[in-house]
Structure 1
Amino acid sequence: MIVDAAAEIADQEGLNSVTLAALSKKMNVRPPSLYNHVNGLQAVRTELAVSGLTKLFDQMAASVTEQKGDAALLSLAHAYVDFAVENPGYYEAALLKIQDKRAEIVSDQIVQLVTNLLIENRYACEKTAIHATRGLRSLLHGFTALIAKEAFEREEDILESLSFSIRTFLSGLSINNKNIM
């Protein structure tokens, strides 16, 4: 309940607005009562980050279960952006640099999911997979950040632009990967 309340605050006001005072007010409890369940604000942020990473991984993994090839990578990209847009608090928390073994494990699962898809579809090899994964993540985060700021002001469909950008990125990877192999 505390993590969900923290996510709601972060969704509406940003992660920096998640404080023990804000949580106790939202949950209608006295601040000292929260310490019966959490070990301070850092613990709340850690749980929020782990939960955000887990939810992001689950959504990305589910998006590719019935997909192959480019369709899988496009589906994964849309799942990433959809998650970030629909869950801005969890997404912002998932980007936190925290020292937690659970977060490291889920982060590695996300990286493995993406790198495996890129390698399976011959967009990367073992040598270039991490670089390609970082490039894709950067592209997706950029779209996410611009959508959050409502920076796409033209009438063209944003998700169509996302698909175009992913296909263009993959095309570039394909050409680059042929030159390396």
Structure 2
Amino acid sequence: MKTSRLNKEIVIECAMELVDESGINGLRLNKIAERLEVKSPSLYTHTGSITELRHTVVGRAMEEFRAQLVDALLGRANLCAFVELGKSWVTYAKKKNDFYIVFYQKEYFLFH
């Protein structure tokens, strides 16, 4: 995936894909650099440390999860809202399991 203009958003999206594939502990700057076909040092301008990037990626995933939960509740004012909320919760947990598990790890749970 050769990129002509590297920016923070491209790096974050790539990092999120890598977490989906290999979990939060599998997220490495050298893997991102390899996938984006750039040198690792060029990523520091856009990411800071790997710890900062992990927090950013987990924060983004939490935002997406919250948005899905809100979407499940919109327009519903009765028991169906709770059913839809539960369905959305389970769907996310299955589809994005690596992120879902990280949400409950102390270092990320307290951060967001």
TM-score (norm 2): 0.79
Aligned residue for 1:36, secondary structure, equals helix
**TM-align CA RMSD:** 1.7
Instruction: Name the residue aligned to 2:83.
Output: 74
Structure with the bigger RCO (C-alpha within 8 Å, sep 6+) is: 2
Structure 1 pair 95–28 and aligned structure 2 pair: CA distance change class (3 A): farther
The answer as to whether partners of 1:9 and 1:89 remain within 8 angstroms in 2 is no
- Residues 20-57 of structure 1 deviation map (CA, whole Å, 9 limit, x = unaligned): 11111111111101011111100110101110111111
| Counterparts of 2:97 and 2:13, CA distance in 1 | 13
| Counterparts of 1:93 and 1:3, CA distance in 2 | 16
Is 1:94 aligned to 2:103, yes or no? yes
| Counterparts of 1:37 and 1:92, CA distance in 2 | 26
Q: Please say which structure displays the higher CA radius of gyration.
A: 1
Is 1:19 aligned to 2:31, yes or no? no
The answer as to whether partners of 2:16 and 2:57 remain within 8 angstroms in 1 is yes
| Counterparts of 2:82 and 2:44, CA distance in 1 | 43
The unaligned stretches of length 5 or more in structure 1 are 104-181
- CA-CA distance at 1:80 after TM superposition: 1.2
TM-score (norm 1): 0.51
The answer as to whether partners of 2:73 and 2:82 remain within 8 angstroms in 1 is yes
Is 1:61 aligned to 2:80, yes or no? no
Paired residue type of 1:17: G
| Counterparts of 2:38 and 2:52, CA distance in 1 | 18
User: Between the two proteins, what is the percent identity of the paired residues?
Assistant: 19
Instruction: Name the residue aligned to 1:8.
Output: 17
Paired residue type of 2:18: I
The unaligned stretches of length 5 or more in structure 2 are 1-9
- Residues 59-98 of structure 1 deviation map (CA, whole Å, 9 limit, x = unaligned): 0011011123221111001111112222234334433423
The answer as to whether partners of 1:64 and 1:72 remain within 8 angstroms in 2 is yes
Structure 1 pair 88–29 and aligned structure 2 pair: CA distance change class (3 A): farther
Structure 1 pair 79–52 and aligned structure 2 pair: CA distance change class (3 A): same
Instruction: Name the residue aligned to 1:47.
Output: 56
The answer as to whether partners of 1:45 and 1:93 remain within 8 angstroms in 2 is no
